[in-house]
Amino acid sequence: MNNEKTIEWVKEGKYGYSLTIDQTLIPNEYKKIKIKDSTSMYNAIKTMIVRGAPAIGIAGAHGVCLAAIELKNESNFIEKLYEKIEYLNSSRPTAVNLSWALKAQKIVIEKYKDLSVDEIINKLIENAIRLENEDIEINKKIGDFGAVLVPKGAGILTHCNAGALATVGYGTALGVIRSVYKKDPTIMVYADETRPRQQGARLTTYELVRDGIPVTLITDGMCSYFMKKGMIQFVVTGADRIASNGDTANKIGTSTIAIAANYYNIPFYIAAPKSTIDMSIKSGEDIVIELRDENEVKIINDKPICSEGVKVINPSFDVTDNKLIKGIITEYGVFKPNELHKIFS
Ligand code: MRU
């Protein structure tokens, strides 16, 4: 990927707007869209124009700036802004980075609530841009901590897209892969297709092909075949929410891969920033799993792939048990699932 941000605040006129890559169009079209109001930001998150836990967080932070601009002439500005924050928070339930970023904006509102509305808006924009820049730095640190764990010439399996597109830039799981590739160009990445929305096929291969990193696309059911053949030595995925005991929610299919990796004795790692860890919940049991539209499963290329009337359930994420995870790669280093409290102490 080039060094452009996946999502960024563009200063223009008095305040500016959010500019984001429309990820629903990739790989057929690379197009950026301007998001200029909080309802459009809510819809962009919900329809996955912007997706991936850290990118959703930044979208939320931008959504608060847009809401503040919309409400600037309202008499009860702060109260209405808090209502908009709740609305943005309801766009997708699983990735904790959304509520984490909204909370970061709430802290700004609380701190500067006695300033003028105009000054509050500028403080919110400043904070959103700070979060954007920090995200890239954090991912580079995750990449460097993870790179040393990967055996030379490894086949590396990843699921979904935890790349530059899922973040502001560089990526978490793909950040690890980018950092490994700099010192070992003999690696081979295996990217799972990731049904139903095909983030692996559409987005991960798009990023890796553009960076010249060797990648082989496989379908979701193929992982144990390649593991058994000895072609995969390392597995790394991202995360949407990590409970305090290390149980990890990530794209549906992740736990199947973790189970297979453990069966074949292949190390299974999660790469994620501190903002994805939710210390307020004890275990994966407490994670809300988003259920999405059944048409994501039933329809491919605008055509049904099953008989009309068939029952479909479409959970978007699953939870991988902590005991299947060898380590969680963060910007503070690599931790065992039961050591996460060390990052917060
Ligand atoms: O439904 P998505 O595409 O938002 O799901 C994304 C994932 O599951 C990613 O693996 C996760 O958010 C980590 S992104 C660095």
The one-digit pLDDT tens for each residue of the chain (345 residues) are 667 899 999 999 999 999 999 999 999 999 999 999 999 999 999 999 999 999 999 999 999 999 999 999 999 999 999 999 999 999 999 999 999 999 999 999 999 999 999 999 999 999 999 999 999 999 999 999 999 999 999 999 999 999 999 999 999 999 999 999 999 999 999 999 999 999 999 999 999 999 999 999 999 999 999 999 999 999 999 999 999 999 999 999 999 999 999 999 999 999 999 999 999 999 999 999 999 999 999 999 999 999 999 999 999 999 999 999 999 999 999 999 999 999 999
- What is the number of the ligand 1 atom nearest to the C-alpha of 251? 8
Structural tokens at position 26:
């990739």
Query: Is the distance from CB of 173 to CB of 236 less than 8 angstroms?
Result: yes
pTM of the model: 0.97
Sheet of 17-21, strand order? 7-10, 17-21, 32-35
Distance of CA 8 to the CA centre of its chain: 15
- Annotated active-site residue 240? The verdict is yes
Cis peptide before 54 (omega within 30 of 0): no
The domains of the chain, with CATH numbers, are 7-139 (1.20.120.420), 142-344 (3.40.50.10470)
List the residue whose alpha carbon is closest to atom 13 of ligand 1.
238
Residues 6+ apart with CB under 8 A from 184: 150, 152, 153
Catalytic residue among 192, 240, 278, 318: 240
Query: Is the distance from CB of 29 to CB of 148 less than 8 angstroms?
Result: no
Alpha-carbon gap, residue 14 to 128, rounded angstroms: 16
CA 167–ligand 1 middle distance (angstroms): 9
CA 123–ligand 1 middle distance (angstroms): 29
Q: Which of 250, 270, 328 to mutate to test the pocket of ligand 1 (most atoms within 8 A of CB)?
A: 250
Query: Is the distance from CB of 117 to CB of 77 less than 8 angstroms?
Result: yes
